[in-house]
A and B are shown apart, each in its own frame.
Chain A
């Protein structure tokens, strides 16, 4: 009675009409509010929300609503507490209410319609976030009923959310399929997340399939989709057939019943034969000592007598068809994007191989010798880049210095190698190959002695970090783009040098016919030395480029030398376009096989090498074979 009086008093004091309603509601449901239960609190929250008690609900959900000593509901602040209705300060102790998470989520849901109409865009955005986080059927109506959002971005978000909820919760199948169709070519993760539950299936087995079920597909036992053992397990789980006996169980049962050197009349010594084991088990089963087990024939008969299927949880076929169609279209578009991404990767790999192989191709083309130390020249270039970087702190500047420095160092090394070794082994290609291999192991070990075995970092400048991308699936790191540009640059440089300069003319002359070139006043030896230096120098630059994304170790060259050989051999010697084609073929092939056989680069490389061995059968001189007299060598 006293409580009613205070209530009346407060009602008189507090003016607004809404507050009066709220006061009544709060008073009516006082007990339920202080002791809420998830099952029964729903209508109460709805009533409070209708009466305009958004502030009270918010405080309740945040555990700031409490009961004062005199029974009034109060909202607790940092400073103190005030009356939930009037806002008057409340003295004395306030016991805060602690609604559980279930109740709080109901409160949050009830707050949504009010929040969607809130003048503050931040509140409206927060309401949308809350729905997206925990969508349920009730919010669909709220989303539809709420007044139009003035902010176009929020309006679009709300519309999208409303359609997503419609896919999942709209009672009308036509509305759901319409909502699915409305997404068109969208590949958003939230759209996928809305579609996937629709296609959830469960596997059933029975003498006949349920007539009204939305069947995804019927399964035949003994296929890859449903191995016979799994199918039989389904039947056992459904209680339709007795369990089969595993070998281990049979063994355990026989061991348990072994008596006097025999089991079920069969001597233990004979039990190494599976047929005798079955006989012994049958004997035990006949005595009732062990449960009878289904034989293989019975199991097969049971499988044949039952039908198996995946059944959608969603009963309407129109909806599942629409969802499946949308997902399939999405997978197709993603596949296309991935293919584009793979093509980018392949181009990038091809440009690396091209850069690594171009020097080799030059020396092989001009002199017909394979330089096994080529990989070590790549390594030398990478280490030059590293040394330059330790000397110059600015990374951009150090990279600009490192490229010509690497070219000079390796070109010089190439010239020295030519003068000391290769010139003396002229026209003995196999011995040149082995001698340069000797140089290669010596250089590798020297690098190991100087720089140690651990990997040295060659850090790219900040503007080369990160990646360039289009959409979600297609992206390529900036360094790789830079390498591609570098490779194109060298292709252009090579073409200009070969076709537009005097040196190029002389190189081509020596390549085609050394004897004739010599009689025209060209020194083949000098040309060979220069081209060898040029080829080695390009290897050094390739080394800097490779070092930017791979770790610089003394074995860096090993990783690229075989691929470089392949590039040259497949492409054909003495022609830059051949090298380009070879690099493109090998890079594309390697990526292509990796895609077909994901996560297994070893297999990819194996198959690539096998392909090359077969390829050489049909084009022994490469894609673009060398012509003219030199080809006969």
Chain B
């Protein structure tokens, strides 16, 4: 039913499946070994970033809320799963050490041993209350969704209720992620300060499984999550709910006057998108291996917005394409593998100049190709948008322009 209404969905899912199959067949674990394990991990992480971008597109491209703090939810998801990974893994190691002693350890001794191992680096030996559920995988999986979801719910309720919108809301979300990052940077916040959580690539109970296999499994997981996210986003935006949130984006006051509870719609889409972001983060950080509060500094969230904008906001595949293209290009250029460019007397080292290229390229995309990379798809599909030179949709200066609104 969904596919009949959105034929592009089938193409997207097919491409994703083909991609996953190709990478699997080229991996070291299940195939020819043409792709190194680190590359497989990079591709898996990129799929997670694409999922985060998709969530960002839901709030920004469809609901018109430019959140500059979405990576906070992403990193929080990572922290929640990281707690279990680190706790369970340390428990294995400590348990093995203590089992060698002549007397079996009491549960309290085991706990103290784990706490000492995890929090020794920040000069503490007590397990903070926030870690009381860390030993249980189901509990932490629930927290992956619950903690970012509740944060988004609380923050969104406060912000939307008092009609904070536009630039103010963007700055406020940025403040939120900065406050969270600064709080986590403290050693006594209970999340190991700027050390963050590490060793996340070691899956508890899977010590015998080589990293190459784990990398491919996480790639499958990430691809599956992205496919689910794609389906969910298409279903939501394709229905009545989608029409309402697009209407809110284009003229919030008018929708309110028509009798829709604007705040509830905004809150719902904001919270949902935060939870999708958290899932992406929970899949991302076990592949990255380490998470620290620097990951949720405001700059990360702005990059997320940049990906969506370059890919083309207001369309789901646009966000996904943007995230994949920009993050892969980024790691190619900054990885030092891009050939240097000789310009007369000056050699351009891409490691130094990639940021400049990205920044200026982004400005150019915003100025000249507001629909981003997805306008290429539009062109191939023969979609033409009437050039109305961007007249106002609404009567006042704050109303969006047609050029944005129809996207």
Contacts and interface: CB of A to CB of B under 8 A. Distances in A.
Interface stretch (A21-29, A109-117, A271-279, A528-536): A271-279
Interface stretch (B45-53, B357-365, B373-381): B357-365
Contacts of A254: 103
Contact of B401 (A274, A427, A438, A632): A427
B74 interface: no
A442 interface: yes
Interface in B285-327: 298-299, 302, 305-306, 309
A566 interface: yes
B170 interface: yes
Contact of A569 (B108, B171, B354, B360): B171
Interface in A430-444: 430-431, 433-435, 437-444
Contacts of A424: 367
Given A274-B108, A562-B178, A613-B176, A429 B167 contact: yes
A421 B170 contact: no
27 contacts: A251-B103, A271-B104, A272-B105, A272-B106, A274-B106, A274-B108, A368-B398, A427-B398, A430-B170, A433-B167, A433-B170, A434-B366, A435-B362, A438-B306, A441-B356, A442-B360, A445-B359, A603-B186, A605-B178, A605-B179, A606-B183, A609-B179, A613-B155, A613-B175, A614-B158, A633-B396, A633-B398
Nearest to A369: B167
A445 B353 contact: yes
B107 interface: yes
Contact of B178 (A251, A433, A609, A617): A609
Contacts of A446: 356
B254 to A, nearest CB: 14
Contacts of A614: 158
Contact of B306 (A247, A370, A437, A449): A437
Q: Across chains A and B, which 8 residue pairs bring their CB atoms closest together, nearest first? A: A442-B359, A445-B355, A438-B362, A609-B179, A441-B359, A272-B104, A438-B363, A633-B398
B70 to A, nearest CB: 14
B183 A632 contact: no
A448 B105 contact: no
B171 to A, nearest CB: 5
A255 B109 CA distance: 15
Nearest to A601: B182
B341 to A, nearest CB: 14
A429 B309 CA distance: 14
Contact of B167 (A368, A449, A566, A616): A368
Contacts of B367: 421, 424-425, 435
Contact of A429 (B109, B166, B359): B166
A620 interface: yes
A602 B170 CA distance: 22
Nearest to B108: A274
A251 B101 CA distance: 10
Given A430-B170, A613-B172, A633 B397 contact: yes
Contact of A434 (B174, B305, B354): B305
B185 interface: yes
A582 interface: no
A605 B170 CA distance: 19
Contact of A435 (B105, B183, B354, B366): B366
Contacts of A605: 178-179, 182
Contact of B102 (A268, A440, A612): A268
Instruction: Report the contact-size class of chain B (Cβ under 8 Å from the partner).
Output: 35 or more
B167 A370 contact: yes
Nearest to B193: A602
Contacts of B163: 620
Given A255-B102, A430-B66, A600 B186 contact: yes
A633 B171 CA distance: 17
B108 A632 contact: no
A447 to B, nearest CB: 10
B333 to A, nearest CB: 12
Nearest to A603: B186
A616 B348 CA distance: 46
Interface of B: 66, 101-109, 155, 158-159, 161-164, 166-168, 170-172, 174-176, 178-179, 182-183, 185-186, 298-299, 302, 305-306, 309, 352-356, 358-363, 366-367, 370, 392, 396-398, 400-401, 404
Given A434-B366, A437-B306, A271 B186 contact: no
Interface residues of A, number: 62
A600 B186 CA distance: 8
A454 to B, nearest CB: 15
Interface string A341-372: 00000000000000000000000100011100
Nearest to B163: A620
Given A562-B178, A605-B182, A633-B398, A448 B106 contact: no
Contact of B360 (A247, A269, A438, A448): A438
Contacts of B309: 431, 434
A255 B103 contact: yes
A605 B293 CA distance: 15
A391 interface: no
Contacts of B360: 438-439, 442
A630 to B, nearest CB: 8
A449 B352 contact: yes
Contacts of B166: 429-430
Interface in A602-633: 602-603, 605-606, 609-610, 612-614, 616-618, 620, 632-633
A514 B356 contact: no
Contacts of B370: 431
B359 A438 contact: yes
Question: Which of B185, B186, B397 lies at the interface centre, i.e. has the most chain A CB atoms within 10 A of its CB?
Answer: B397
Contact of A431 (B108, B174, B366, B398): B366
A273 B178 contact: no
Contact of B104 (A268, A435, A438, A562): A268
Given A562-B174, A602-B182, A433 B396 contact: no
Question: Which of B167, B171, B370, B400 lies at the interface centre, i.e. has the most chain A CB atoms within 10 A of its CB?
Answer: B167
Interface string A246-265: 01000100110010000100
A144 interface: no
Contacts of A370: 167, 170-171
B131 to A, nearest CB: 20
A130 to B, nearest CB: 45
Contact of B175 (A272, A274, A442, A566): A566
A370 B166 CA distance: 11
A312 interface: no
A247 B109 CA distance: 9
Contacts of B363: 421, 435, 438-439, 442
Contacts of A437: 302, 306, 362
A333 interface: no
A433 B66 contact: yes
B167 A268 contact: no
Interface in A464-499: none
B164 A616 contact: yes
A562 B298 contact: yes
B175 A434 contact: no
B375 to A, nearest CB: 15
A232 interface: no
A565 interface: yes
A610 B179 contact: yes
Contacts of A433: 66, 167, 170
Contacts of A609: 175-176, 178-179, 182
